[in-house]
Structure 1
Amino acid sequence: MTVTLILITLYALSIALFCFATRRLPILSQDALHRVSSLDGLRGVLATAVIVHHFIVSYYWHVNGVWETTDSRVLNNMGTVPVSLFFMITGYLFTAKIYRSEPKWGQILSSRIRRIFPMYLFSVALITAIALHQSAGISAPVMDTIKSLGRWVILIGSPINGFPDTVRINASVQWTLLYEAVFYLSLPVLYCLLRRKLPGMAVVVALIVLACLWGEYHHHFHNRFIKLFAVGIAVAVFEDRMRQWKIDFSGVRCTLVAVAILLICMKLKSYSTLQMLILGVPFALFVLGNSLHGVLEIRGLKILGEASFSIYLLHGIVIYSVFSLLDAYDFATPDPLSYSLYLPLIILLTSSISVATYWCIEHPFLRKASPSAKATLPNA
């Protein structure tokens, strides 16, 4: 419990320091600056919370040689709850897009490619470079390496050049992108169900691509995560009806409800059905305008929200580089309390690098997207 409290305290202090340091810096895009949405700040909190989870998991991996969850449900759920809410955000945003207007399927496809692959492929390049460095004495067959890279391109981690710990370099975060890819490919079918219209070509193309990928994907796909997207879908479908309720969604009572449920979820079993479903309550409140009494509107959190995709992809690489490449900590004499003191370094370093990669890699591609696609990209 002591380690958990120290990590949470250091996490909060690190985020506060980042927000203070960036409060006057012109590193927030004009779209995000003028957009009123609790989801922006929420994404910043979620992405950085995952850092804490993988930070402590990495510690026990170095000590015990096993990559697994810890004995602390709170620390485990600092990975689980953010991923769950990220899936809900995706389900909500894209259901709203196809439910309230006639979608342009080509633009949606283009927006997803521009949003995901430039930054993702950059992270894969870093992973490849590190794996090749760590396996310098190994000469795996070239075709095996090419096949491994191909699997990374389709969002499945695989050893590169025979290096068995390749997926540990980025904490294997690409697994969530696989579920998002399946959801995007399911959008034409979802459109049929919600709008009772058949976008023939979109359905055919989506099903063909999904069929081609399913030979690899089905080994990694678990149906339980569908519930999280379903919650986001339900919020999008019933949003207008909920807004007609005579409830002050931004008020203190709703804030207390959101906080209480989030705290409860931090003590529940990770990815349990109960946790997945009740998380929908605070998520719906955030969509309906609750910002936790202004916390999610803090400029620094919105900056982290814009860079959240980079943070998510890069934090594992930063953790691995600091502790496995640079040997910044002596795991021969492990002490979780002294190790915890490195958390602010990891959070601030990851956040700073991610803001830079957002502007240098992500933003140029987002800027090229069409206006209608660009409106959703920063939130997705």
Structure 2
Amino acid sequence: MNTLNPLFAIVVFLIAYATSYVINLKYKVNNLSSRYESIDGLRGFLAIGVFIHHSSIWIQYLQTNKWDAPKSNLYAQLGSTSVAFFFMITSFLFISKLLNLKEKEFNWKAFFISRFFRLTPMYYFSVSIIILFVMIINDWKLKVGIFRFFGQILMWGTFTIVRNTSINGYYLTSRINAGVVWSLPYEWLFYFSLPLISLLILKKKPSNLYILISFVFIILYFFVNNFDFHHILSFVGGAIAAIVVKFKPFKTDKNSFFSSILILLCFVLIGQFKNSDNVICKILITIVFVLIASGNTLFGVLKNATLKFLGEISYSTYLMHGIILFAVFYFGFGFEKIKSFTPLEFWGLIFLITPVVVIFSFLGYKFIEKPFMEISKKINK
């Protein structure tokens, strides 16, 4: 059987869904209604899509020693397009907040505090595990100078905004979490750009302090980090969706049969591209997102409580799935053993790992993400 048979991806989705359904029966993580239910459901698909994407890269990497996008458009787009959607969601939510403020003043201090407590705790927890793995692999011995070692940890502490580097000389450091941290600097770039963006939207402008902070961060970012313009287009797509939802230029039924079919058609067309970097592909993704952000539930699928549960725990899934894969492949079986697996054996292992990813993601959300979100709410009162 072909290593990248679409059936494998479908089975992983079904296992993740079944696991989430059982957990959500008891804990009701998503018991609160959301203004953007369709987006919550979409995030559930995206997080598992990235997990499947990196699983397919791992089997390819173990055979060729090259960490490249999967040769299948489907498996490649499960990662590339999913991240594009994540960027659009970020942009949509916060541009929408600015558009809906009207005469009110935006609380920038509360915004940055909430973003810090939302992204940082789970990220630092995941980095701590990466450091632990590196030290175990290196027999708890320093392979670099002490100052360089702590400097490397500091680089990771900045969400790799300054530089994505190995830790303690272990050249596979970035493989431990499947290299997912590359997207987080773009998230921070957007957050720190928001005061400048707000100048075009808000009547009550941010203070000079926040404008200065915004300018300084952007300048430093471009000085120390790489930059791919096509990712910025994803944030633009989210902003377009926010404008469409706010001003409703198109008088159509958001859940019409035509709109849902259009979404499916766009997904089929997106699947013809190798990744989401292409401008035409990005336009198709934007069309899909505008329709979903407007409330289209794709025949009711995106309102599903289990999908919304997966969406709620998606940040932990994003950060932890690669670590779990690495732990199983390196510590559990060993790379050489995994290399000898047939496609069916490899994906059978992924099927067994899938519930573990969902459970650990839930635990990360419940015991790390959620408590720190509550702390930020108390601070911002």
Would the TM-score normalized by the shorter structure come out above 0.5?
Answer: yes
1:176 aligned partner: 183
- Does residue 260 (structure 1) correspond to residue 265 (structure 2)? The answer is yes
1:125 aligned partner: 128
- Does residue 356 (structure 1) correspond to residue 360 (structure 2)? The answer is no
Question: 1 CA distance for matches of 2:356 and 2:152?
Answer: 29
1:91 aligned partner: 91
Deviation at 1:315, TM superposition (A): 0.5
User: Aligned pairs, how many?
Assistant: 370
Contact 1:73 1:267 in 2 (8 A): yes
1:132–1:293 distance in 2 versus 1, CA, 3 Å: same
What pairs up with 1:305-344 in 2 under 5 angstroms?
Answer: 305-327=311-333, 330-344=337-351
1:180–1:338 distance in 2 versus 1, CA, 3 Å: same
2:107 aligned partner: 104
1:141 aligned partner: 145
2:353 aligned partner: 346
Identity within the alignment, %: 27
Pick which of 187-196 and 160-169 moved more.
187-196
Question: 2 CA distance for matches of 1:54 and 1:334?
Answer: 17
Deviation at 1:369, TM superposition (A): 3.0
- Does residue 246 (structure 1) correspond to residue 251 (structure 2)? The answer is yes
How big is each residue's C-alpha offset from its partner over 1:229-286, in whole Å with a ceiling of 9 and x where there is no partner? 00111111232332x6331111222111112212221221312111111111111111
Question: 2 CA distance for matches of 1:299 and 1:231?
Answer: 26
Question: 1 CA distance for matches of 2:378 and 2:339?
Answer: 54
Deviation at 1:4, TM superposition (A): 2.3
Q: If the length of structure 2 is used for normalisation, what is the TM-score?
A: 0.91
Structure 1: which 5+ residue stretches go unaligned?
375-380
SS of 1:25's partner is: helix
Contact 1:63 1:334 in 2 (8 A): no
- Does residue 209 (structure 1) correspond to residue 206 (structure 2)? The answer is no
1:77 aligned partner: 77
1:129–1:208 distance in 2 versus 1, CA, 3 Å: same
Deviation at 1:332, TM superposition (A): 4.2
What pairs up with 1:47-66 in 2 under 5 angstroms?
Answer: 47-66=47-66
1:23–1:205 distance in 2 versus 1, CA, 3 Å: closer
SS of 2:25's partner is: coil
Deviation at 1:65, TM superposition (A): 1.3
Question: 2 CA distance for matches of 1:294 and 1:163?
Answer: 47
Deviation at 1:186, TM superposition (A): 0.5
1:236 alignment partner, one of 219, 234, 242: 242
2:46 aligned partner: 46
- Does residue 155 (structure 1) correspond to residue 156 (structure 2)? The answer is no
Root mean square deviation of aligned Cα? 2.2
Question: 1 CA distance for matches of 2:35 and 2:99?
Answer: 21
Structure 2: which 5+ residue stretches go unaligned?
none
